[in-house]
Structure 1
Amino acid sequence: MNLLGGLTPEAFLRDYWQKKPLVIEQAFPGFECPVSPDELAGLACEEAVESRIVIENDAGKPWQLHNGPFDPERFERLPEQDWTLLIQGLDHWVPEIADLLDAFRFIPNWRLDDIMASYAPRGGSVGPHYDQYDVFLLQAQGHRRWHFGGQCDHTSGRVQGTPLRILSDWRPEQTDVVLAPGDMLYLPPGVGHHGVAEDDCITLSIGFRAPTVDDVLTGFTDFLCSRNDVSRHLADPDLTVQANPGLIAPPVIERLDGLIREQLSDPRQLALWFGQYATAPKNADIVVPAETPAADADLAEAIRAGEALRWNEGSRFAYHDFADQTALFVDGEQYLLNGDARALAPLLCAGARIDMAALAPLMDDPALVGLMTRLYNQGSVYIDSP
C-alpha cells in the first residue's frame, strides 16, 4: 500500500492536511471494490440505509436530488447516463469497506465521519461543489475525471433551481486528473471539486468531519444542564437604587460572566461531554443488541480461547486519559476505568479488529469481563467468525 504517495503520516499532516489537495497514484495498488453497483442499488432500497440519487438534468431541472429508500423499479427508469447514486455510511453495512479505515488511523477516531459510495454511469456526477470536511476520494471501480482547486465559501455563486450547492462560476486550478482503481485524491475543507464518471465507476469518499462552533456550544451547554442543578435563580442581595431603572448595570453583567465562566471552566466535564458526543452513533439503526445475549463467563471463555472480536461497523470508540482515571467512550456512553483496568481503553480503541492476545489477560478482572459483556450485548462488538 502506498497510502500517502510515499509521504509519512507526519509529513502529510504537516504539509497537506487542511492546507492543499494531494493526488496519490495507486494508494491502494490493485484495489478491487468489495461491493458491486447492483449491491449498492440493493442497499438503496433498504429503509435503514441513507441513499440519494442526483440527476444532472431531470425534466429540464438542473441537478435534482431524490432521497431513498427507493423501489427496485426506480433504477429501471433512470437515464442511461448523467446520474449518480450515493450511499452514505457504507462502512456501517459492509465489513470489507469498514476495514479500509484502519489505513487512516493516523487521524483520530473522533474525526471520522463515514465512507460514502458514489456510483455513476458515464457522465454522472454531483456537480461542482465544495464540502466542509476533509475527504479522501478513493477510486474503487472504473475511472473518474477530476477538476479541483480554489477555496470556496458561502459567498461563492450557486446554480439556481436545485436543492444542491452547485457552484456556478467556479474556476478550478487543476483539471483533467483521471483516477483509476486504487488512485486517491485528498481534498481539504472548502476546496472546490467536480468529478465526472468516464465509465461505470464507483468512488469511495472517506470523510473526516470536525464539529461546528454551534455544535460545541449547544452540545456542551445542554450536557451541563442535564448534569447540574440549573433551576436556581440569579441572586442580587446587594441590589441598590439606580438613577434610571432601564439601566442594566455593569455588576449584573459581571455576575452573569462569572456564572458562565464557573460552569464552563471544568475541563473534565468538557472531556466527558466531547467523548460522548464524538462517539454517538449516526442513527439508531446502526448499533443493535446481540440476538443472543452472552453471560460474563461465556464471553470471557470465548476471549481466552482466542475468538476474534471486532467493532460493530457503525460503532465509535475513543478514550481520554485523566490524571487518576481513563474515560472510555463507546457509542455515546462513558465508562470510567481505574488502576490496571485503564489499559483496556487504548487496546479497544486502536482499531476495529481487537488484539485478542492483549485482551485475554485483562479478563482476570471481573469488572472488565462485565464491561466487555455489556459492549457485546449492546451490539458495539461482535465475534467475527471466519
Structure 2
Amino acid sequence: MLSRCIAVDPHRFAMEYWGHKPLLSSASALPRDFGDLLSPTMVDELIAERGVRAPFIRLAKEGDVLAKDCYLGPAGFGAEMPDQVDSGKVLEQFAAGATIVLQGLHRLWPPLIDFVRQAVDELGHPAQANAYITPPTNRGFDPHYDVHDVFVLQTAGAKRWIVHEPVHDHPLPSQPWTHHRDAIAAQVADEPVIDTVLGVGDALYLPRGWIHSAQAMADTSVHLTIGVSPLTGIDVARTVVDELATLGAFRRSLPMGGDPADRDDIIATVTKVMAEVVEVLRDEASTLSGGAADRLVRRHADRTRPAAVRPLASLQAGENAGATRVQWRHGLTSTIEQADGRVVLRLPDKVMTFPLSCAEAVEALRGGEVADAGSLPGLDHADGTVLIRRLLREAVLVPVTE
C-alpha cells in the first residue's frame, strides 16, 4: 500500500515525513494510478446500485454540510429504510455544485477493504477510506485541518490543493479545527507551503494539523483520502494512568476537609498525588507496563477489524475439516498463554481454552502457517481435525482457497 502512495523510500518517509511534514508524489514517480481503487464508474455503481445508507454518504457545498433529506429517501417496498441514498436527489445536488462524500469505504467496497487492510498492516495504526467527488470548479469544505493523517490519492479529474502550516501542532481528536477558526483564517491569508494541482495518479501526504482546502478544476474530481489515526504518547500515558485503577492506593478517597474552591489546596493535592504516581511508576514499571500493553492491544482491536469471514464457506469447510487447508484470520488480534494446564487463547470478544497438546499447533497457526489436519505440529490427523473444525466455527481460522 505505502509504495503506491509515496515516491520516496519507506524508511525515508518514516524518518522525515511521517507526522512531520507533507509529501507530494507525482504520478510519474509512482508505479501506477489509483483507478483500480475507485473510478467514476465505481462511484456511480455505489450510488445507484449498492444501497448506500447514511452515514456512509453525505453532501457538502461551499463549506456547509447539506441536510440529509437533500439526498436520502425511502428505499421502497421490501427495503423500508428511510436513510438510503436517493440517486435522483444526489444528481440534483451534484449538478448544483455539491461535493459527494462517500465515507467508510473500507467497510463496503472490496478494493478498498483490501487496500486499507494493507495500510493497517504496514503503518501499524488504524486506517479508513473516504472518497470526495466534486463537480467542476467547486469546493466542498473551507480551509481546515484534520485530527488524523491523510494520504490523498487523485483517481479522476484534477483538484487544486492549498496547504498551510499548522496553527496547532499534532492535534488530538478532542482538538478539532473549529477550536481555532480565527487562527486558521489568519494563517490562510499568508503564503501557502503547497499550492498545486493534483492530477490522475498524483498523491499527497498530510500530517494531522496541516491546514488545507481543495477545489476541483475544469472536470469532475474524484479523490480518495486514506485517513490514519495514529497512536500518540498521550494515548499511552492515559492507558498507564488507567492501569493505576488496579492499585488500591489510588482508589482510596482523598482526606476530608479540603476546600474544592481553594486553588492552593487543589494544587497541593495534585502535587502530592503526582509525586505518588511518579513513585509507583518507578517502582512498579514492569507490572504497570504489562497491563497497559494489554489495554493498548484491546484498544487497537476495538478500532480495527480483522478480515471478514464468509459464514457459509467457513461452515462448509468445518464439515470437511479433515481435508481443508486453513490459515489464521488476517488481522485477528489475540494472545496465547498457558494456565491451569490448558492453552488459553484470548480474543477481543471471547476466551477459548484447549488441551496442552494443542499448544504447538495453535502457536503455528497464529504465526501464519498454512496447514491441514495432517500437518499440524504436535497433533495426529484426528485431533487436528477437531481443532480446525472448532477454530473455523469460532471465526479464528479461514479456509484457504487456491
Which TM-score bucket, shorter chain as reference? 0.5 to 0.7
Q: Which residue of 1 aligns with 2:167?
A: 152
Q: Which residue of 2 aligns with 1:83?
A: 98
TM-aligned CA distance change 1:254 to 1:178, over 3 Å: closer
Distance in 2 separating the partners of 1:151 and 1:367: 59
How far off its partner does 1:147 sit? 1.4
The alignment's TM-score, normalised by the length of structure 1, stands at 0.68
Distance in 1 separating the partners of 2:183 and 2:50: 23
Distance in 1 separating the partners of 2:4 and 2:98: 29
8 Å CA contact 1:303, 1:360 repeated in 2: no
Q: Which residue of 2 aligns with 1:205?
A: 225
> Are residue 40 (structure 1) and residue 46 (structure 2) matched?
yes
> Are residue 107 (structure 1) and residue 122 (structure 2) matched?
yes
> Are residue 184 (structure 1) and residue 203 (structure 2) matched?
yes
TM-aligned CA distance change 1:24 to 1:113, over 3 Å: same
8 Å CA contact 2:94, 2:135 repeated in 1: no
TM-aligned CA distance change 1:251 to 1:299, over 3 Å: farther
> Are residue 277 (structure 1) and residue 292 (structure 2) matched?
no
The C-alpha deviation readout for 1:32-81, integer Å capped at 9, x for no partner, is: 2444222332589544753322121xxxxx52354574441431441525
Distance in 2 separating the partners of 1:233 and 1:200: 58
Distance in 2 separating the partners of 1:250 and 1:38: 57
Q: 1:344 aligns with which of 354, 365, 368?
A: 365
Q: Which residue of 1 aligns with 2:76?
A: none
8 Å CA contact 2:54, 2:84 repeated in 1: no
Distance in 1 separating the partners of 2:385 and 2:292: 28
Q: Which residue of 2 aligns with 1:124?
A: 139
Q: Which residue of 1 aligns with 2:315?
A: 294
| Amino acid in the other structure paired with 1:197 | A
> Are residue 31 (structure 1) and residue 34 (structure 2) matched?
yes
- Cα RMSD, aligned residues only: 5.2
% identical equivalent positions: 20
8 Å CA contact 2:365, 2:371 repeated in 1: no
| Amino acid in the other structure paired with 1:273 | R
How far off its partner does 1:107 sit? 3.2
Q: Which residue of 1 aligns with 2:14?
A: 13
The C-alpha deviation readout for 1:336-386, integer Å capped at 9, x for no partner, is: 995564343342xxxxxxx74699844875898777666654557755868
- SS of residue paired to 1:99: helix
In structure 2, stretches of 5+ residues that fail to align are 73-82, 260-264
Distance in 1 separating the partners of 2:309 and 2:248: 34
| Amino acid in the other structure paired with 1:38 | D
| Amino acid in the other structure paired with 1:195 | A
The C-alpha deviation readout for 1:70-128, integer Å capped at 9, x for no partner, is: 4414314415253222222212212211222466467343x022112222222133232
- SS of residue paired to 2:291: helix
> Are residue 135 (structure 1) and residue 150 (structure 2) matched?
yes
How far off its partner does 1:173 sit? 1.3
The alignment's TM-score, normalised by the length of structure 2, stands at 0.65
